[in-house]
């Protein structure tokens, strides 16, 4: 117990950089009382509207909630959505390095009625970041890298994360011996070579390996193929209600079951997992402790609605679940 508390309390001493695709998450919460006379669809009476930072920004929100001094890097447009997004991030006290390459700021709007998502609609431009703007991020990284304890790449497949940027971030962090963790998307999967940890979910691991995953035996097979292809220091496959599995470069396995008793919303759970896992290894915790605490964090956050975060107090107050799993 004391060891876990020491790790969690050390988060406040960390500085972590998040690079990735940024978006605004909008949640419209309400009730359904009737079917529309215009079409066979439910009419949702909206009772509450929430605006939250999404994509890589949810990773930064999770880190901030943990007490980490976090810097967020990505593309934000000069439109009304972008201004709203910047205001939210500023209010959270998150450091930023934002680029405006002329695109609209991505926005995802979810309509939720009686704890059930009815529909989601997206407004976004998924164009690749040009070499000019990649160069801006590279220069920022070269100038500031010594001030960070870890770097996270949060790839949502919206164009900010490119092969050139991945290679440059990998080169700089490897040279400075700084942990680099990656939440991948299939478009760039083969480029994430030699990172500290890559954290695909089961679907991404299946697509990245080309192996259809139906059972745990297939998870292991897919993991070994990904490790051979990318040579990461570790590979963490998140398996939803089935927990997680961590593999190292030697093929050794740490398998942990899901701890959640009740699942309300899995939105952003992967962001919580990589935030806690990265914070743990940046704090010099073992990979075993890192996966146990990130699994606990993921189990807590799926019990909340929307793109939620966890606090150090919540982790400490629920450590009994980890200890129970160990016994």
CB distance 151 to 19 below 8 Å: yes
pLDDT of residue 262: 58
Is 271 assigned a catalytic role? yes
Report which of 278, 308, 307, 306 is spatially closest to residue 293, judged by C-alpha positions: 278
pLDDT of residue 43: 94
Residues 6+ apart with CB under 8 A from 153: 19, 20, 161, 166, 169, 180, 181, 182, 183, 192
Kindly report the length of the chain. 327
Q: Which CATH number fits domain 2-22+54-106+124-326: 3.40.1190.20, 3.90.550.10, 3.90.226.10, 3.40.50.300?
A: 3.40.1190.20
pTM for the model stands at 0.93
Q: Give the helix/strand (H/E) hosting 255.
A: strand 253-256
CA separation for the pair 227, 231 (Å, rounded)? 5
Check 155, 183, 265, 271 and give the catalytic one. 271
The contacts found for 310-318 with CB under 8 angstroms, 24 or more apart, are 310/62, 310/65, 310/66, 310/272, 310/276, 311/65, 311/66, 312/8, 312/9, 312/11, 312/12, 312/66, 312/67, 315/4, 315/8, 315/276, 316/4, 316/5, 316/8
Per-residue pLDDT of the chain (327 residues; tens, 9 = 90+): 899 999 999 999 999 999 999 999 999 999 998 999 999 999 999 999 999 999 999 999 999 999 999 999 999 999 999 999 999 999 999 999 999 999 999 999 999 998 888 999 999 988 999 999 999 999 999 999 999 999 999 999 999 999 999 999 999 999 999 999 999 999 999 999 999 999 999 999 999 999 999 999 999 999 999 999 999 999 999 988 788 999 998 777 888 887 755 555 556 688 999 999 999 999 999 999 999 999 999 888 877 766 678 999 999 999 988 877 765
CA separation for the pair 161, 153 (Å, rounded)? 8
């Amino acid at each position: 117990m004391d060891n876990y508390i020491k790790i969690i309390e050390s988060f406040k001493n960390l500085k972590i950089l998040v690079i990735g695709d940024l978006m605004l998450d909008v949640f419209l919460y309400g009730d359904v009382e009737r079917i529309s006379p215009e079409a066979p669809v439910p009419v949702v009476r909206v009772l509450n509207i929430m605006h939250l930072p999404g994509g890589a920004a949810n990773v930064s929100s999770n880190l901030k909630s943990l007490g980490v001094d976090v810097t967020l890097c990505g593309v934000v447009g000069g439109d009304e959505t972008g201004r709203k997004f910047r205001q939210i991030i500023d209010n959270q006290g998150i450091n930023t390095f934002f680029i405006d390459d002329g695109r609209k700021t991505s926005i995802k709007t979810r309509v939720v009625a009686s704890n059930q998502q009815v529909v989601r609609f997206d407004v976004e431009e998924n164009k690749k970041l040009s070499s000019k703007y990649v160069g801006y991020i590279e220069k920022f990284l070269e100038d500031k890298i010594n001030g960070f304890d870890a770097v996270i790449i949060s790839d949502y497949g919206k164009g900010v994360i490119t092969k050139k940027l991945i290679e440059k971030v990998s080169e700089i962090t490897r040279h400075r011996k700084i942990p680099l963790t990656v939440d991948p998307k299939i478009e760039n999967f083969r480029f994430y070579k030699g990172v500290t940890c890559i954290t695909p979910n089961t679907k991404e691991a299946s697509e990245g390996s080309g192996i259809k995953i139906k059972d745990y035996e297939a998870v292991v097979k897919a993991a070994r193929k990904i490790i051979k292809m990318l040579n990461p220091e570790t590979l963490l496959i998140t398996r939803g209600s089935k927990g997680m599995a961590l593999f190292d470069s030697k093929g050794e396995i740490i398998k942990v079951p899901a701890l959640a008793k009740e699942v309300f919303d899995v939105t952003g759970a992967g962001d919580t997992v990589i935030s806690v896992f990265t914070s743990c290894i940046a704090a010099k915790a073992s990979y075993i402790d890192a996966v146990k605490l990130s699994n606990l964090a993921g189990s807590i956050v799926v019990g909340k609605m929307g793109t939620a975060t966890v606090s150090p107090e919540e982790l400490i107050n629920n450590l009994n679940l980890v200890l129970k799993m160990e016994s």
